[in-house]
Structure 1
Amino acid sequence: MREHLYWGTQMEQIDREDQVSMTIDDDEILDPGSETDEVNSSNGSDRDGFGQVFTGNGMVSLGEGSKEHGLIKKSFLMGMGLIAKDTNVVAIHKNLNSGFTRQARFESFRVFSKAVAQKCGGDANVKYAWYGGSREEISGIVSHGFSQCGRPASDHSHGVGVQLFPAKFSIDGALSSVADENGVRHMLLCRVILGKPEVVHQGSKQSHPSSKEFDSGVDNVLAPRRYIIWHTFMNSHVLPEFIISFKAPFLKESQRQQANNAFKKPTSPWMSFPTLISILSKFLYPSKMDLITKCYQDFRANKIKRPALIQRVRNIAGDKLLAAVIKSYRNKARTT
């Protein structure tokens, strides 16, 4: 979904976002080395039968009283924003990476994490991320890995590769999930190796890093809402760890709104907020840029409303500078 900042005479309008989320610091949910403190070997209260698919596929059901179940459920609901109160977590399954093939994928992830860390000065930039799909697709990924190699990107995708969503934006992963015959949706919670990401714009057909400097893609370096793992790395840089199954009756309306907004075009002059931030960074001290970035992140997380964001940016940057930046940007756009 494209985010645009509209500036009229009073600079009072910002394009409405359909997804809202609360943030999770550093996109971290669990200590990667944590152990499962309670699991259910059976499908328990799985009345819909999907648990048999996952437990039969080498997964184990986390008990509702376990620490991992509580942390994942809490962070998932935080990222669901306004529809969290009407969202019901049905089950959470964990991948124990048992069996030769899964152990090999786990070892591959560990080796590549170390390699990317060495390349990037000691930090592989490993994050948690969501991936939504159908029950069959999720089960297949756990069993055999991702198989999207060569699949063309849609006009709304960011390059060709596996596209995942930061831990604090579970709503975005949920929007890409598919309800089964019982109305239950399923998402993977994965660890991903980002290394040094580069910006990949919406509609791009890029399918590999633009240079050896980069390892992955993001839609926005300052406030990423989408991670892109290239198909050559999709089964070495992504490690599925959990499946969360849930019911979200109001998600269909959000999906319809997302589809409608995908075809909406601005009717007034606009510039993307990341572009504005990039230009302002040439004129403002880093301390002020940190404040502006924080305001934008608060807006995306639905912590502040549009008028508050507009007013704060105006107070920090000043109307004179904003007017000059916007005028220059518009004039440049007209001549290109």
Structure 2
Amino acid sequence: MDHHTDFDQDQVSITVDDHHQEIVAAAAADSECESSNPDVEKFEFFTGNGMIRLDEEKNEHIVIKDSFLMGMRLLGKESDVVAIHKNLYSSRTGMVRMEAFRIFSAAVAEKCGGDANVKYAWYGGSRDELCEIIGYGFSRCKEPQNGVSHGIGIHLSPTNAAIDGAMLAEEDDNGLRHMLLCRVILGKPEVVSAGSGQFEPSSENFDSGIDNPLAPKKYIIWRAYMNSHIFPNYIISFRTPKNYYCVKPKSPSMKFPMLLNVLSNFLDPSRMKLISRYYKDFRENKINRSQLIRRLRQLIGDKLLISVIKMWKHKV
């Protein structure tokens, strides 16, 4: 079995998303050719962990880079992809994990009528954490830094929302941040509301969680499945502006108590309860203004937030 070109062998159970097909095609077409870039010391954490650096001129590198920059939205123009490393899963443990992923993909596909609904997704963290995941798998479920939890599990970002995963990527001593690009078995997902303490499927009908059925920004893989339904394929290393996570939309201003009152007409009680709690934390100096705004944007979304403020301004 050729463990270096597995993408073209997985088609039976994979649903193609916006970038999946391009990555599959690029990986199948490109040969395993390690880049001769001299910055080897920066990435010995990865190359010493069974990974190979992709040549920047190879189509596989280009497709993943383009997908990442597109998912970074406006910050894509200010972001610099320094390297992409591929998991060769050539060790005995790696081969076992790859085979386990195949088996679970097939099992979920059979359960879901032939489609395991496998997607690519981003996962951000520290360099050491990502190396540990590559070597040993996921060991814990992190608390979301933005304060908005959609259940207890591994939270990943779809390929078109790389910026959300990048918010969790920690800068290393070389000024680089790193994210995993993983294949994820979603099966049949269920909607998990913000602030939920759910930690497993609500019934046998579901396999994973999402935050929004129409345009998901989060995939939630439950802890029991975190090492069978997630397979790390790549690590992308990049630089971004220091304040990349603090970019704010340009919009009119509005007093917060009034904003709360107006939002109550648009949001369900559970989200309003969370917003009230965030505001209480702000008033008690437990969080600062930028943290409050960031949590609001994550929970409400920029589009609704700006629309509500503009609508209120027109009425004043």
TM-score (normalizing by structure 1): 0.68
| 1:167 to 1:272, Cα distance in 2 relative to 1, 3 A | farther
Structure 1 residue 162 corresponds to structure 2 residue 154: yes
Higher relative contact order (CA 8 A, sep 6+): 1
| 1:98 to 1:208, Cα distance in 2 relative to 1, 3 A | same
Structure 1 residue 193 corresponds to structure 2 residue 185: yes
Cross-structure match for 1:297: none
Match of 2:30 among 24, 29, 37: 37
Cross-structure match for 1:147: 139
Query: CA offsets, 1:160-213, max 9 Å, x none?
Result: 111000011111111110000121000000000000001111111111101101
- Number of aligned pairs? 251
Answer yes or no: is the 8 Å Cα contact 1:175–1:255 preserved in 2: no
Cross-structure match for 1:46: 39
Shift of 1:248: 0.4
Structure 1 residue 135 corresponds to structure 2 residue 132: no
Cross-structure match for 2:245: 254
* Aligned CA-pair RMSD: 3.0
Cross-structure match for 2:286: none
Shift of 1:139: 0.6
Answer yes or no: is the 8 Å Cα contact 1:184–1:247 preserved in 2: yes
| 1:240 to 1:301, Cα distance in 2 relative to 1, 3 A | farther
Match of 1:77 among 64, 69, 88: 69
Equivalent position SS for 2:96: helix
Equivalent position SS for 2:28: coil
Once residues 172 and 123 of structure 1 are traced to their aligned partners in structure 2, the CA distance between those partners, rounded to angstroms, is 27
Match of 2:195 among 199, 203, 228: 203
Equivalent position SS for 1:121: coil
Once residues 84 and 302 of structure 2 are traced to their aligned partners in structure 1, the CA distance between those partners, rounded to angstroms, is 25
Shift of 1:55: 0.5
| 1:153 to 1:66, Cα distance in 2 relative to 1, 3 A | closer
Answer yes or no: is the 8 Å Cα contact 1:130–1:173 preserved in 2: yes
Cross-structure match for 1:175: 167
Shift of 1:216: 0.2
Once residues 87 and 195 of structure 1 are traced to their aligned partners in structure 2, the CA distance between those partners, rounded to angstroms, is 33
Pairing of 1:1-336 with structure 2 (within 5 A): 26=18, 28=20, 29-31=22-24, 34-35=27-28, 37-41=30-34, 44-46=37-39, 49-148=41-140, 155-250=147-242, 252-255=243-246, 266-270=259-263, 271-272=266-267
Query: CA offsets, 1:285-334, max 9 Å, x none?
Result: xxxxxxxxxxxxxxx899xx967xx99xxxxxxxxxxxxxxxxxxxxxxx
Query: CA offsets, 1:77-113, max 9 Å, x none?
Result: 0111111111110000000111111111111110111
How many percent identity over aligned positions?
A: 50
Answer yes or no: is the 8 Å Cα contact 2:181–2:232 preserved in 1: yes
Letter in 1 for 2:151: G
Structure 2: state its 5+ residue gaps. Answer: 1-15, 250-255, 271-300, 312-316
| 1:35 to 1:171, Cα distance in 2 relative to 1, 3 A | same
Once residues 137 and 185 of structure 1 are traced to their aligned partners in structure 2, the CA distance between those partners, rounded to angstroms, is 12
Equivalent position SS for 1:172: helix
Once residues 108 and 239 of structure 1 are traced to their aligned partners in structure 2, the CA distance between those partners, rounded to angstroms, is 10
Cross-structure match for 1:332: none
Answer yes or no: is the 8 Å Cα contact 1:153–1:205 preserved in 2: no
Letter in 1 for 2:183: R
